[in-house]
Amino acid sequence: AHLDRIAAVDGSVKAFLHVNAEDALAQAREVDRKRAAGEPLGALAGVPVAVKDLFATIGLPTTCGSKILDGWVPPYESTVTRRLRDAGAVLIGKTNMDEFAMGSSTENSGYGPSHNPWNLSKVPGGSSGGSAAAVAAYEAPLALGTDTGGSIRQPAAVCGIVGTKPTYGGNSRYGVVAFASSLDTPGPFGRTVLDAALLHEVMSGHDPMDSTSIDAPVPPVVEAARHGDVAGLRIGIVSEFSGDGYQSGVMTRFTEAVELLESLGAKVTEVSCPHFKYALPAYYLIAPSEASSNLARFDGMRYGLRAGGGSAEEVMAVTRAQGFGAEVKRRIMLGTYALSSGYYDAYYGKAQQVRTLIIRDFQNAFSQVDVLISPPTPTTAFDIGERADDPMAMYLADLCTIPSNLAGNAAISVPIGVAPEDGLPVGLQIMAPPLADDRLYRVAAAVE
Ligand code: GLN
């Protein structure tokens, strides 16, 4: 049914870079055989999952949305997709994304943009826009994304679905093409809170193959998603994230969600996080710095594209010039500059200090409340092309999501209706301390 749906709508949504049709059917038949034979079935037996094209998947192309990885088929499997396969999930295809996960609209993909299923002239958000669009368009019930600076929550918000950035380290980064290693967090998309929780639980947990993986039990997210009880819960509204610059319909729905939570017995107060306003500039030093280092491995020798002849240096230069898009080059230059010996203290070092101040803001807030809430993004989905030539306007899409990445916290976006002025989906962001991912699902289930 999902393959038929993909055949019917993906020509216009363009969520997928690769559809794993034959193999997906074979996997589904294998589940049928096991069921008929009475063999044990995994938690996601037979459930199709769309996979952002930066998870290494044996036998399936993995491009990371970049021409530099065109034609690369990984010889190994990411831990997260391995866990899904072990749970019986069917990997139905690889989804479009901003190149190397750099962007908020999928327009930076080397393979053309994806479209928002609610209105095809709008972006589906990004960088995990293909995954969000696939779930919103009923091409898959579940999808995987990664959130380095909002790339699960923002597309979930503008596509009207649920998307979670789990606690950093709660999910293995092994086999996930690296963007900014101290921030990259794999996470789930679903159309309901419980769906997202089921995927969250299956994909998570300690992995000795990732040195930043946390050796702690997976928070009880499924249990929390089933209950959605917020009576007595202390909820803080981040004072800095509302008002000027926020679309009116985004604020209308946000205010209604607050009223709903209060009517369900939550105690809602305002909490100030004064350093959150520096999160965006700090992120745009830290993430490009890490990216400039991580992307050094694409040298025209090891993976995918190789262009130019002559010396190794020439091959490297020509391959990188041809293979990387404009945004990736901008980030590499920005990061290389910020890390250079003369500017390290002024830029990268300062940004890391700001990161500490943001962590302290969260610690202070979570000494007063159990969760924080805000809009996930200041506006609903924008037009394709509208911000393509203006990186600063594009970066603003992640204003509210980035603090949780810098702190390594857990956060979710859950749909709360549409904006009256444009009929496009609006989300609510809920943020929790590290390893308190279950709180996200409790609150999300209450407002769903
Ligand atoms: N939009 C942000 C960026 O371009 C976040 C991307 C992400 O979370 N992968 O860096």
- pLDDT digit string, tens, across residues 345-386: 999 999 999 999 999 999 999 999 999 999 999 999 999 999
pLDDT tier at 424 (50, 70, 90 boundaries)? very high
Q: Among the atoms of ligand 1, which is closest to the Cα of residue 327?
A: 4
pLDDT tier at 416 (50, 70, 90 boundaries)? very high
CA of residue 142 to ligand 1 center, whole Å: 21
Q: What interface predicted TM-score (ipTM) does this complex get?
A: 0.97
pLDDT at 50: 98
Q: Give the relative orientation of helices 248-263 and 437-447 as an angle to the nearest 10 degrees.
A: 100
Q: Is the pLDDT of residue 242 over 90?
A: no
Q: Among the atoms of ligand 1, which is closest to the Cα of residue 148?
A: 8
Q: Is the pLDDT of residue 293 over 90?
A: yes
CA distance 101 to 96: 10
160 φ/ψ angles, rounded to the nearest 5 degrees:
70, 35
Catalytic residues: 52, 127, 151
CA of residue 326 to ligand 1 center, whole Å: 15
Q: What is the value of pTM for the model shown? A: 0.98
Asked if residue 107 has its Cβ within 6 Å of ligand 1, the reply is: no
Asked if residue 207 has its Cβ within 6 Å of ligand 1, the reply is: no
Three-point CA angle 339, 147, 354, nearest 5°:
45
Asked if residue 102 has its Cβ within 6 Å of ligand 1, the reply is: yes
Q: Which residues contact 167 (CB under 8 A, 6 or more apart)?
A: 185, 214, 219, 408, 409, 410, 434, 435, 436, 437
CA of residue 125 to ligand 1 center, whole Å: 10
CA of residue 428 to ligand 1 center, whole Å: 19
- pLDDT digit string, tens, across residues 61-114: 999 999 999 999 999 999 999 999 999 999 999 999 999 999 999 999 999 999
Q: Decide yes or no: CATH 3.90.1300.10 for domain 2-280+348-447.
A: yes
Asked if residue 148 has its Cβ within 6 Å of ligand 1, the reply is: yes
pLDDT at 243: 79
Asked if residue 149 has its Cβ within 6 Å of ligand 1, the reply is: yes
- Domain spans of the chain? 2-280+348-447
